[in-house]
Amino acid sequence: MQVSVQLVYEGSERPYTAARVEDPVLARIVAQRAVDDAVAQAEAMSSLDPVLAEAQRAEAERLRRVLGVLVPRGIGSGNRSRFQLIEEDTKDPENGDES
């Protein structure tokens, strides 16, 4: 399965795709940001409207699950508020050092 990230200009009547990048690491970063933003929206709503906040939390969880299937190596973490897509590899492959 191939996933790409598109940079879309939306300043005109019709959206214009300015660039398309096929990079799984970038796709994981964008997916993580999308889930983080959805969770942050739910948290911001919680004091204003608990019902809408709960609906937004459910939407964030749905987004996490969908992106976990679509984005390469996109495995959701046990903590539902985070979408751990990016592998945490601390070794520098060139010299074996930890970064």
Boundaries of every domain in the chain: 23-85
At 89 the pLDDT is: 40
How far, in Å, CA of 23 to CA of 35, rounded? 18
Instruction: Check pLDDT > 60 for residue 5.
Output: yes
Instruction: Check pLDDT > 70 for residue 93.
Output: no
Look-up of token digits 């660039």? 19
pLDDT band at residue 72 using 50, 70 and 90 as cut-offs: confident
At 85 the pLDDT is: 44
pLDDT band at residue 96 using 50, 70 and 90 as cut-offs: low
27-60 confidence digits (pLDDT tens): 999 999 999 999 999 999 999 999 999 999 999 9
> What's the token pair of residue 88?
């945490």
How far, in Å, CA of 39 to CA of 82, rounded? 8
